[in-house]
Amino acid sequence: MSQYKEILLTARPDGKPVGPHLFEVINKGIPTPGKGEMLIKQTHMSMDPAMLGWMTPDEDSYIPPVALNTRMRSSGYGEVITSNHPDFSPGDNVMGMMGWTEYTLSDGKGLNKLPAGVDGETALAVFGLPGLTATQGLFNIGKPQAGETLVVTGAAGSVGSMVGQLAKAEGLRVIGVVGSDEKTDWIVNELGFDGAVNYKTDDVASKLESLTPNGVDVFFENTGGPVQQHIFDRMNVHGRIVVCGMIADYTAASPAPGPNWIPLIKKRILIQGFAMPDHLHEAPRLLSQLNPYVAAGKIKYRTHVLDGLESAMSALNLFFTGANKGKLLIRL
């Protein structure tokens, strides 16, 4: 087989569910790497909420959007097939931005070689963007202290589940906000969270109050939506709010307003938004912060795997409904 498939972004999101009408699947001949290049066969593609932002031009965004009629952007995991690059050999497992494609050429820039034995699911679910994001946001912005209380939204998601487990390992009381009883069960009974709020069925304010008797010191925000104000109301003096994602508001025509700022003064609260492209150059340091927790068996994860390149085209909708269970991946 000398052909492979690749998917181009051909239209901007139009308010309808993201699907094949925004993309074109093309067939291409498998290329031969030039000087200093290598050919990679991608085996796993990571699907992340940030990709929704990459599809739409926005002068405020932190990285340029994907240009129309070019390969859709994503990070992934694969194997080096042939290499003219001095640092990579056939059989090496690599992770990096490869896009929606079965094969890609690379000059090695932005690509990380993984230790043997780290499979694609672990790589993308733990050491990829979710792990880097959780580590940067929790430790370097949230600055958690043993004995404090953390609340994380999107708690069963790839970032949220890791934030909660890292905070538990640090000795915090950890409460997760989720959207189903199945997710409640997973984060409490499998991951060891101290409690969960199901924002779809619980009385959020009273449940939060009973689960955070000492208030909230760190609020790790992955979702936005009405639950935000309730958590904000529970913040303690000198609390830290890490703003990582606002998935509930991304598609709203006019996003809901946020909390009034008076409590920021009364409680001297910090709010810090962040995005990983600012910190990818720190990846080695972040991975060394994260790795001891993984090595000590503190980090469990689960993946939601879809099969085949074409399944990527509709996969992003799962973030809006919360229907994915665990890190969303495409297996090629």
- Give the up-direction half-sphere exposure of residue 330: CA atoms within 13 A in the CB hemisphere: 24
Place of tokens 């499998």: 190
Burial readout 141-172 (b: 16 or more C-beta within 10 A, e: otherwise): bbebeeebbbbbbbbbbbbbbbbbbbbbbbeb
Among 42, 149, 228, 303, binds a copy of itself (CB under 8 A): 228
Q: Per the structure block, which two tokens stand in for 243?
A: 């703003």
Q: Which of 282, 227, 214, 235 lies closest to 258, judged by CA?
A: 227
**Closer CB to a copy of itself, residue 149 or residue 228?**
228
**Closer CB to a copy of itself, residue 192 or residue 273?**
273
Strands of the sheet with 3-9, listed across from one edge = 23-29, 3-9, 70-71
Query: Is 143 near a copy of itself (CB under 8 A)?
Result: no
Stretch that binds a copy of itself, among 97-105, 147-155, 221-229, 293-301 (CB under 8 A): 221-229
> What gap in Å lies between CA 178 and CA 175, rounded to an integer?
10
Q: Which of 117, 96, 116 lies closest to 107, judged by CA?
A: 96
**Closer CB to a copy of itself, residue 274 or residue 320?**
274
Query: Is 177 near a copy of itself (CB under 8 A)?
Result: no
Query: Is 244 near a copy of itself (CB under 8 A)?
Result: yes
Stretch that binds a copy of itself, among 101-109, 145-153, 163-171, 240-248 (CB under 8 A): 240-248
**Closer CB to a copy of itself, residue 96 or residue 224?**
224
Query: Is 14 near a copy of itself (CB under 8 A)?
Result: no
Stretch that binds a copy of itself, among 100-108, 185-193, 247-255, 292-300 (CB under 8 A): 247-255
> What gap in Å lies between CA 276 and CA 11, rounded to an integer?
25
The helix/strand/coil state of 137 is helix
Among 172, 243, 283, 329, binds a copy of itself (CB under 8 A): 243
Query: Is 216 near a copy of itself (CB under 8 A)?
Result: no
Stretch that binds a copy of itself, among 123-131, 178-186, 246-254, 297-305 (CB under 8 A): 246-254
Q: Per the structure block, which two tokens stand in for 155?
A: 């708690």
- Give the up-direction half-sphere exposure of residue 175: CA atoms within 13 A in the CB hemisphere: 26
Query: Is 64 near a copy of itself (CB under 8 A)?
Result: no
Query: Is 271 near a copy of itself (CB under 8 A)?
Result: yes
Among 5, 25, 61, 195, binds a copy of itself (CB under 8 A): 61
Among 17, 195, 258, 300, binds a copy of itself (CB under 8 A): 258
- Inter-residue long-range contacts of 258-267, CB under 8 Å, 24+ positions, other chains counted: 258/228, 258/229, 259/228, 259/229, 259/232, 259/233, 263/232, 263/233, 263/235, 267/235, 267/236, 267/237, 267/238, 267/239
Among 201, 266, 280, 323, binds a copy of itself (CB under 8 A): 266
Binding residues for a copy of itself, rule CB under 8 A, total 37
According to DSSP, residue 147 is labeled: T
Query: Is 26 near a copy of itself (CB under 8 A)?
Result: no
Which residues are at the interface with a copy of itself (CB under 8 A)?
Answer: 53, 58, 60-62, 221, 224, 228, 237, 243-246, 249-250, 255-275, 278
